Amino acid sequence: MSNTDPQNPSNMQEQEQQTLSALSNELEVFLRSFKDRDGNYKYFDKINNMMATSSTSITIDYIDFDSFSPLLAKDITHNPDEMLSAFNEAVISVLLEIHPDYTNEIREHIRVRIGNYAVQKGLRDINADVINKLLGVSGMVVRSSEVKPLGKRIAYRCLNCNQISFSELKGLSLKKPQRCLNCSEKEMEMDVESSLFIDFQLVRLQELPEDLPAGQLPHYIEVTILGDLVDQCRPGDRIMLTGIIRIDQEASFVSGGNSTTQRTSLFRLRMEGNNIEYLGGRAGDKKTRSIERISISAEDERQILILSKKPDIYDKLVSSFAPHIYGHEVIKESILLLIVGSVTKKLDDGSTRRGDINVLLVGDPGTAKSEMLKFAAKIAPRGLYTSGRGSTAAGLTAAVVRDKSGIMMLEAGAVVLGDQGLVCIDEFDKIKAEDRSALHEVMEQQTCSVAKGGIVATLNARTSILSAANPMYGKYDPYKNITENVNLPIPLLTRFDLVYVIRDLPEKEKDSKIASHILEIHKNVQKLSQAAINIDLFSKYLAFAKHSVEPELTREAINIIRDYYMKMRNVDSDSMITVTPRQLEGLVRLATARARLLLKDKVEREDAERSLFLVQRMLETAGVDVNTGKVDLGVLHGKPFSEISKLKLFMEIFSSLSGEEKNDVEENVFIGELVKTGKFSDSDAKSHIKKAMNDGQIYERKAGFYSKA
């Protein structure tokens, strides 16, 4: 209370202190006497351990408090400021008896946090009715600022008489005293030693995608986070935030002779964070969401280990992935390996070997590519889904934005939010070329570099990328190579470990099964969710495999992969390069991921053989050179060997005809020589001449005569 309060302020202050001390005495009884099911003094033990863990806050379970006193529990919703300050006093009182020195050291920083809070609202339901009330709100963190010190109590020293005056924080603003209370001197300077500062961070919380009503934009709220809560959540985290709704007055600028700020009667809602709990990574409905990052309890771990011992576990895992989609077993298996990933190896020189697997699906419309992507994003421990047309380079990687205070802030994009998880990019071919180029670095170096607005930063983007693209002309043309079918740059295509072509070919038996499967789902929706493994356990199994198992290669697996690599490098001994070291690393990643999925600590023979099978299946669809019908990975690298050898022959014949004097070569003679080799037809020869002219290798000096450029 300030000295200007009317009607004997000292009496009012005493009354307030009496009610506060009576309340804190009552809360102290709760902290000392509450026992959990095992008969332990739950909160007394927590306070007792505060010094050992160097913590300044203690979390009270709302359900425990409600069972102790429903009246006080109701009060905490409607008068949170009073209740929380009484709670802080109660904790200080208990802690003083146990560790008096530690209490005096952290007295100003002690905070009581409310966990498992029952009064929850959606972000759209926050309005004028809930100002100064305690609420629980679920959302996704989309932006967080740097941590700054906030002056909670600032001391000002009088330059005349050395007297110190204090200014207390009200909301987010401080008022400097006009003059010294002792000598009325106006000259005062801040005394940092006697002031109290706490950590402060601004976070933006946005509505969860699954809570968004149709046709609405997501709502967001700015959250101020203080003390030991700072840096608890990062962009991309789904959290349940408990906090008090505050208001800040809007300021409007009035331009006159010199622009001045004028306070308006409009206010802005803000939330003051009290506690942060994590929502599970899988999007369920509000009631079933677990209040933590996908956490695996001892019981879950026991079930996971029992599952992993079953002989048919691998088939069960594959069949549990998107059970509502018929077939595509090889692709489902590849996506499971991509979710689990391989081990990222750190070398002594500081460089790393990528462990994340990237997969591209290219296929005809209506082959359930998007469905598989959405399902993968849903069950992955940390999954994001985005579509091509609505994605820019900034949205995929990172953007630099200016916040209200004029400070440049980094805003994370999809691959940064999906760090150590999975990003599904649908309609991959529809992303603009300049935006797609941002992914080259992400897919190989696993970082995302930004140099804008004075911010030069390299962010981690250790993410697996699962993409789907449509062929350029609607349906996949089997008479063209994959690079001619898909509108993607070749360097990006080579960064995918697996590229699958999904073709929609009419087959009587298969079509009948697909039709029955779809119609059965429409008839009985429950059948859709009857997977071999419960979806929650399935999600936990994948999270457990990803974070708990690090298999090592056995000598046998190494030999199998090496033999395959050497064999593929020497196909037909016709200097035909079919695989590169990049594919060799891909084989190792796939074999390790399979061992990881089965919770093994060694990569064995069958894991290596399965990785060869998956790559072989990819080569059968995407890696066949349509000119020769042979497998040739050159088709993924731009030009198959058959085309390279044709170009070589074309230039050799041209050079031999022009001779050392570089004479002009007559068109008819040249075409005749090309046809004689048996590798060119008449029209083929003409198109190669046209191509060579476009590429600037030869030019037409006069009609029907060509010369080397």
Tens of pLDDT, residues 592-610? 888 888 888 888 888 888 8
- Kind and range of the H or E run holding 159: none
What percent of the chain shows pLDDT beyond 70? 77
Distance separating alpha carbons of residues 202 and 656, to the nearest angstrom: 73
Q: Is the pLDDT of residue 35 over 70?
A: yes
- 592-595: long-range contacts at Cβ-Cβ below 8 A with a sequence spacing of 24 or more? 592/342, 592/343, 592/355, 592/551, 592/553, 593/337, 593/338, 593/340, 593/341, 593/342, 593/357, 594/337, 595/549, 595/551
Q: Is the pLDDT of residue 107 over 60?
A: yes
- Whether 223 contacts 244, CB under 8 Å: no
Q: Is 337 left (phi over 0), alpha (psi -120 to 50) or beta?
A: alpha
Cα angle 62-63-68, degrees, rounded to a multiple of 5: 95
**pLDDT reported for residue 135:** 92
List, for residues 67-85, the tens digit of each pLDDT value.
Answer: 888 888 888 999 999 999 9
Nearest CA-CA partner of 380 in 337, 444, 319, 442: 337
- Whether 398 contacts 358, CB under 8 Å: no
What are the beta bridge partners of residue 343? Answer: none
List, for residues 357-401, the tens digit of each pLDDT value.
Answer: 888 888 888 888 888 888 888 888 777 888 877 777 777 777 777
Instruction: Tell me which of 25-29, 257-261, 349-353, 547-551 is least confident.
Output: 257-261
| Mean pLDDT, the chain, whole residue set | 78
127 versus 366: the higher-pLDDT residue is: 127
What is the total residue count of the chain? 709
**pLDDT reported for residue 641:** 52
- Mean pLDDT, residues 673-695: 67
pLDDT classification of 136: cutoffs 50, 70, 90? very high
633 versus 551: the higher-pLDDT residue is: 551
CB atoms inside a 10 Å sphere around CB 353: 13
- Residue 575 is encoded by which pair of tokens? 């200097």
**pLDDT reported for residue 428:** 82
CA 280 remoteness from chain centre? 14
pTM, entire model? 0.68
- Whether 135 contacts 243, CB under 8 Å: yes
- Whether 490 contacts 483, CB under 8 Å: yes
Nearest CA-CA partner of 20 in 77, 69, 84: 84
- 160-166: long-range contacts at Cβ-Cβ below 8 A with a sequence spacing of 24 or more? 160/185, 160/187, 161/185, 164/191, 164/194
Q: Is the pLDDT of residue 571 over 60?
A: no
- Mean pLDDT, residues 463-481: 82
Distance separating alpha carbons of residues 408 and 457, to the nearest angstrom: 13
**pLDDT reported for residue 54:** 87
Cα angle 401-402-407, degrees, rounded to a multiple of 5: 125
Q: Is the pLDDT of residue 281 over 70?
A: no
- Mean pLDDT, residues 616-622: 76
List, for residues 623-681, the tens digit of each pLDDT value.
Answer: 565 555 555 555 555 555 555 556 666 666 666 666 666 666 666 677 766 766 656 66
pLDDT classification of 271: cutoffs 50, 70, 90? very high
Q: Which residues in 483-616 belong to E strands, given as ranges? A: 498-502, 552-553, 602-603
List, as one string, the DSSP characters of 306-324.
HHHTSTTHHHHHHHHSSTT
**pLDDT reported for residue 244:** 93
For 524-554, where are the alpha helices, taking DSSP H only? 525-528, 535-548
274 versus 3: the higher-pLDDT residue is: 274
**pLDDT reported for residue 137:** 92
Residue corresponding to tokens 């999975």: 422
Domains of the chain with bracketed CATH: 9-115 (3.30.1640.10), 123-278 (2.40.50.140), 298-549 (3.40.50.300), 641-708 (1.10.10.10)
**pLDDT reported for residue 438:** 77
CB atoms inside a 10 Å sphere around CB 380: 28
Q: Is the pLDDT of residue 4 over 50?
A: no
Q: Is the pLDDT of residue 236 over 80?
A: no
Q: Please report, to the nearest 10 degrees, the dihedral formed by the alpha carbons of residues 108, 114, 120, 124 taken in order.
A: 20
- Residue 173 is encoded by which pair of tokens? 């603003």
Helix, strand, coil % over all residues of the chain, rounded to 5? 40, 25, 35
3-state secondary structure of 583: helix
**pLDDT reported for residue 11:** 55
**pLDDT reported for residue 632:** 59
What are the beta bridge partners of residue 271? Answer: 223, 245
- Mean pLDDT, residues 525-530: 61
pLDDT classification of 221: cutoffs 50, 70, 90? very high
Cα angle 244-122-209, degrees, rounded to a multiple of 5: 125
pLDDT classification of 283: cutoffs 50, 70, 90? very low
Distance separating alpha carbons of residues 495 and 198, to the nearest angstrom: 46
CA 168 remoteness from chain centre? 40
Distance separating alpha carbons of residues 651 and 665, to the nearest angstrom: 12
Residue corresponding to tokens 């037409």: 700
pLDDT classification of 286: cutoffs 50, 70, 90? very low
Q: Is the pLDDT of residue 528 over 60?
A: no
655 versus 54: the higher-pLDDT residue is: 54
Q: Is the pLDDT of residue 688 over 80?
A: no
Distance separating alpha carbons of residues 698 and 616, to the nearest angstrom: 40
Q: What are phi and psi of 472, to 5 degrees?
A: -60, -40
64 versus 345: the higher-pLDDT residue is: 64
Distance separating alpha carbons of residues 659 and 642, to the nearest angstrom: 26
Which of 195-204, 341-350, 418-427 has the highest mean predicted lDDT (pLDDT)? Answer: 195-204
**pLDDT reported for residue 647:** 65
Which amino acid makes up residue 682?
A: D
Residue corresponding to tokens 């509502």: 324
**pLDDT reported for residue 291:** 41
